[in-house]
Amino acid sequence: MAYPQETFRFAHVDATSLLGQRRAAASASMITYQLQILKDTGRYDAFSLKWQPIYDKVPEYWPIADHLFWDSDIGKWIEGACYFLQGESNPNPVVDGAIKELVEMIRRAQQPDGYLNIHYQVVEPGKRFTNLRDMHELYNLGHLIEGALAHNQYYGNDLFLEPMLKYVSLIHRVIGPRDGQLHGYPGHPELEIALMRLHHRTGDEKSFELARYFINERGNPTGVDGREFYTVEAEKRNEALDWQPVWYPAPRSHWYQQAHAPIAKQDTIEGHSVRAMYLLTAVADLVRVNPDSTDLKEAVYKLWNNMVEKRMYMTGGIGSMKQWEGFGPDYFLPQGTDEGGCYAETCAAIGVMMLAQRMLQYDLSNEYGDVMELCLYNAVFTAMSVDCMKFTYVNQLASSEKNPSERFGWFQCACCPPNVLRLLGMIGGYVWNVSESKKSDPTQIDVHLYAPATLNFETSAGQASLKQECDWPRDGSIKFSLIGEKRYVQLKLRIPGWATAWEISPALSHLDITDGYLTIPAEYLALHPDFNLTFDLKPRLIAPHPLTNQQILTVARGPIVYCVEDVDNTWVTDHFRSTHLDPECLTKNAVTEIKTADPSLPDEIYVSITVHKAAYTVDFDRLKIKPSVDKEDLHKTIGAAKVIDELKFVPYYYRANRGGHGMARVGLKQWTW
C-alpha cells in the first residue's frame, strides 16, 4: 500500500515548473509564516494548558468554540513542516526547534490515562467523549497522529508517536462494540485515515480495529439499543429537539456528517464535503487492505461517480451549499456565493485528491488521475497566492460585490492553510506510484502527474531512477530518463482524457492504452531509456452539464481551467455576469496565446489566452422584467450586444494576485443567439 505521506521521500521535485515553484515558495515562506501565526494566535502555546482569553469568547460559529480545532492546526503544521525538513540539506533551526518544543508540550499535556485535548482539558474538564458528533476530539487526534507519523519519519524517534499510541489505546477501551463501550464514531472523519496509516507504520492492531469499527458502525440505525448513536448521544446531553448547530438545516440532520445510513447503503454523496472526502479516503484504504469488502468498494465507486458527474465544479471544487459546507442536489452548481451558492472548500479539493490517489491504486484509470490533477492545479492552487502567504477557504468560480475574488492571511477555523502546506510537502508522493499489484518483475511505475522530478526505486535487479524534465503544464513536452537498472522496469503513463493529440518519441511499436494509461514496456525502456512524451496543449472550450442551468463555457488548456479578471479586462463593471462567449471563439478569429509574466511577478510565467471579437456584453438593464419578458424583447436585447475587442483569460489559479477590483469569473454565458 502506497501512502503519498510515505512515498514522497523517494521522489525529489525540482524547484521549477508550476508545481515545483509553488513547493519551493511554500518551503521558503509558508512554513515560517504559518508558524508565526500559530504563535500570534495562541495556538502554539495551547498545549501548555494555560487558560487563554479566547476561551471566554462567544464563538463565531456556535456551538464550536473558536479554539476547538487548534490541536489539529498544530498537528497539520508539524506534519507539513516535517515533510519539507526531510528533503532539506540545511534544515531551518527555527522550524526544527518549534517542532521539538511543541512535541514536548504535547507530551507533558497528555493525561496519565492517555487523554489529550486542549478544549476538554482546559475549558470543559470532565466532559470528554460526550459529543463525538460536534466537538472534534477524534478529528483532532487524527491530525495529531498524522503529525506524529511525519515526525517519526523525519526524526526517527517515538517522542510524538508514543503518546499517540497511548491515546489510541484509551479510545480503543472507551469506544467499540462491547457492552459498556460507546458505540460511536467521529463526527468529522479523519481519525480513520490516521489509524489506518498508524497500523500500516507500526502494525498496531488496536488502530486497525478502531478504524474498521468506525467505518462499519457509521450510520448504523440500530447501533445503541436499537437506535442511532448520535440521537442517543444527543439525548444524554439533554439536547433540546429544537437545538441545532447553525450548519444544520434541521435538528439531527445526520446526513451532514454522512451518518444517515451505513456507508455501503449511501447512494448519493451528501453533507459536509471535507468530511465526505476524508471518510471515503479511509474507506478506500480499508478496501485496499480488505479487498473482499465489495459492498464498501461499490459504495466508493457509486459516491465518486455521483460526485464527479453531478456535484463537482469544472475546477474540481466540490460543495455548493454554504450552510453545511457541502453538497447540494444533483447539478446544483451555481458559480458564485451570490448566485445561489458556491463553496468549493480548499480542504475538500485536497480530500478529492486523497481519495483519487487511493482509488488509482486499485483501479488505474485516468478518470481518477485526471480529477486528481484538475483539483491540484485549479481548486487547490487557486487557494494560495503566488507568494504562498495568502489563502482562500471558499473557492467560488465567480465573484460578486458581496464576495469579491480575494485571499486572506488566515482564518479563525484554519483547516485549509496547513492542509495546503502538508499537501505540497508530500506532493512527490502524488506524482507517481510504484504499483502494488506488480511487485513481481518488471517493477511498474504508474506516472499520474507530470513534473520535473526524480523517483528512486528498487527493482529485482537493483536501484533505478526515473527522471522527468518538463515545464508542465505551461509546456506539453516531458523528457523521461530511466537511470540505473533498466531491464526490469515498466511504466504506465497517464494520457489525460482531454488529450486529443500527443506523441511519444521514439515511437512505440504497439500502443497499449488501458483506461487512459499508456504502457511503456520494459523492452522499449531497455532500448530507449530516454524518451519524450509530448501533449498538444491547444486551448479548448469546456462546459458543465446543461442541467446545472449555467449554459456557460470557459477556456481550458491542458489541466488548467481559465478565468477572466477585471485587472486584464478593465471595462468590466458587473463581475462578467453579462459577458457572453462565442462558442466559436477559439477558431473564429485569431486567438492570442502568450507565455508571459506580469511585471509585478516576474518569475510567475503563465500562458494567457485572448479571444478577439468573439465575446459580447449584453445591456441587461434594457430588459423590463415584470416578472418575465417576451421572447422577442429578450432576443432583441441580447442581439444588441456589444462586441468585446479583446477578452483575456488567465489561469484560474492565478486570480487575485495583481490587484484589481476583485472581479473574476470562470464560466461565461454561451453566446448562442
Nearer to its own copies, 160 or 368 (CB): 368
77/327 with CB nearer its own copies:
327
C-beta of 158 vs 593, nearer to its own copies: 593
Tell me the HSE value of 123 on the side-chain side, using a 13 A CA sphere. 17
Nearest to its own copies of 316, 452 (CB atom):
316
- Smallest distance, Å, CB 621 to its own copies? 10
**Min CB(55)–its own copies separation in Å:** 16
315 contacts 554 by C-beta, under 8 angstroms = no
Secondary structure element (H or E) that encloses residue 416, with its range: helix 416-425
Rounded Cα gap, residues 436 and 413, in angstroms: 37
Q: Choose between 466 and 615: whose C-beta lies nearer to its own copies.
A: 615
**Contact between 196 and 203 (Cβ < 8 Å):** no
Q: What's the CA angle centered on 289, arms 345 and 490, to 5 degrees?
A: 85
Residues within the interface to its own copies (CB under 8 A): 58, 62-63, 240-246, 249-251, 308-310, 312-314, 316, 323, 328-329, 331-332, 334, 338-341, 367, 370-371, 374, 497-498, 540-547, 549-551, 553, 556, 577-578, 583, 618, 620, 623, 625-631, 634-635, 638, 669, 672-673
- Pairing verdict, β 530-535 and 552-557: unpaired
One-letter identity of residue 535: F
Amino acid at 337: T
What is the spatial distance between Cα 167 and Cα 160, in angstroms, rounded to a whole number?
A: 11
Q: Which is nearer to its own copies, 385 or 637 (CB)?
A: 637
Cα 111 to Cα 115: distance, rounded to the nearest angstrom: 5
Nearer residue to its own copies within complex by CB, 235 or 436:
235
The amino acid present at 553, given as its one-letter code, is L
* Whether 617 contacts 578, CB under 8 Å: yes
Enclosing H/E stretch for 490 = strand 489-494
CB of 320 to its own copies, least distance (A): 8
CB of 2 to its own copies, least distance (A): 24
Q: Are 439 and 433 in contact, with CB atoms under 8 Å apart?
A: no
Dist CA 592 CA 612 (whole Å): 8
Which of 141, 349 has the CB closer to its own copies?
349
Q: How many CB atoms lie within 10 A of CB 202?
A: 16
CB of 295 to its own copies, least distance (A): 24
Q: Which residue has the cell 485549479?
A: 378
- 211 contact partners, CB below 8 Å, separation of at least 6: 191, 192, 195, 196, 199, 282, 285, 286
Length of the chain: 673
Nearest distance from C-beta of residue 366 to its own copies, angstroms: 10
φ/ψ (deg, to 5) at 121: -90, -30
CB 623, min distance to its own copies, A? 6
Compute the least distance from the CB of residue 352 to its own copies, in Å.
10
CB closer to its own copies, 187 vs 425 = 187
**What's the N-to-C CA distance of the chain in angstroms?**
54
Cα–Cα distance for residue pair 344/534, rounded to 1 Å: 32
On the CB side of 337, CA atoms within 13 Å amount to: 19
CB of 591 to its own copies, least distance (A): 14
249 neighbors 323 (Cβ within 8 angstroms): yes
How far is residue 498's CA from residue 518's CA, in Å, rounded to a whole number? 15
Q: Which is nearer to its own copies, 60 or 104 (CB)?
A: 60
CB-wise, 93 or 546, nearer to its own copies? 546
Instruction: Specify the residue, 82 or 314, whose C-beta has the smaller distance to its own copies.
Output: 314
Residue 606 Cβ, how far from its own copies at the closest point, in Å? 21
Pick between residue 29 and residue 587 the one whose CB is nearest to its own copies.
Answer: 587
Considering beta carbons, is residue 428 or 496 the nearer one to its own copies? 496
Minimum distance of its own copies from residue 561's CB (angstroms): 8
Task: Please name which of 203, 72, 77 lies closest in space to residue 140, comparing C-alpha atoms.
Answer: 72
In the complex, minimum distance from the CB of residue 8 to its own copies, in angstroms, rounded to a whole number: 27
For 344, what's the count of Cα atoms within 13 Å in the CB-facing half-sphere? Answer: 27
CB of 552 to its own copies, least distance (A): 9
Closest CA to 208 of 195, 190, 221, 224: 195
Name the minimum Å distance from CB 657 to its own copies: 24
Question: What cell numbers appear for 183 in the block?
Answer: 458505540
Taking the C-alpha atoms of residue 374 and residue 580, their distance in angstroms, rounded to an integer, is 24
